[in-house]
Copies of this chain bind each other. A is one copy, B any other.
Amino acid sequence: MVLMSQPPDLSQGLERCSTCPIRHRAVCSYSSPAELTRLDDVKFYRDFEAGQEIVGEGEPTPFVGSVVSGVVALHKTLEDGRRQMVGLLFASDFIGRPMRNTAPFDAIAVSPVRMCLFHRREFETIMTDSRSLERRLLEMTLDELEAAREWMLLLGRKTARERLASFLMILVRRQAMLDKGSMANGSLITLPLTREAIAEYLGLTIETVSRQFTRMRKNGTIDLPDRRTIRILDLAELSGIAGEIVEDFNTRGTA
């Protein structure tokens, strides 16, 4: 990781795991109170500004850890600069591979990010002593693999329109999950990414992304109150474009 030499971070050690906002979703969510104390003792927080590099492709990664808040994008880059996003991480997602010391991708903070970090060796030691960390990490890795495969279908076979619709559906579903609300027409979605980052996510150019947004707006599928906000006007349509069959929507407007 690149920014470990930044100015000392006063937030370090100020929070306890037991009151952590990601306590019940992160890699430590299966950990007993005793194990949590052990993690508590060696964890440390680090903050990153939007745009900062957290890990550089090919660089050694002496740390692993969880996203506490903010959004992190993982990218791979070809020599001539073509770039593809290969991971998009939110609060509670885990970065870094135990037993591997160079990163196969860049990790960039796309918003202000707080990470809860461990020295890789220390994390590995605790994981070796502990059933629950390893079990949870396996589960999270299997989920990521499943998401990666869905993403491969998108990149290999979907049209630009379908790609954008699929991306918006992921955001809608995520929002509904967090709000514990149902998905509904009228709901407002905050885009966590710039047009450029969306293009890198979808394997498109920024111009194509912009044109597809405009097209959906003109069709009445969505509205764009401002550049970072989407209002879903026709969820059934959006989900249809995305190539999903979703049986049950709450179609009452909520806005």
Flag if A84 contacts B138 (CB, 8 Å). Answer: no
Known contacts A134-B135, A156-B155; A149 and B149 CB within 8 A of each other? no
Flag if A78 contacts B243 (CB, 8 Å). Answer: yes
Flag if B148 contacts A148 (CB, 8 Å). Answer: yes
Flag if A157 contacts B78 (CB, 8 Å). Answer: yes
* List of B residues within 8 angstroms of A156 by Cβ: 84, 155, 202-203
Flag if A105 contacts B138 (CB, 8 Å). Answer: no
Q: Which of B100, B137, B151, B158 contacts A152 (CB 8 A)?
A: B151
> Is A153 on the interface with B (CB-CB < 8 A)?
yes
Known contacts A79-B245, A156-B155; A149 and B86 CB within 8 A of each other? yes
* List of B residues within 8 angstroms of A84 by Cβ: 152-153, 156-157
**Least Cβ–Cβ distance between A57 and chain B, in angstroms:** 11
A67-98 CB mask vs B (1 if < 8 Å, else 0) is 00000001010110011101100000000010
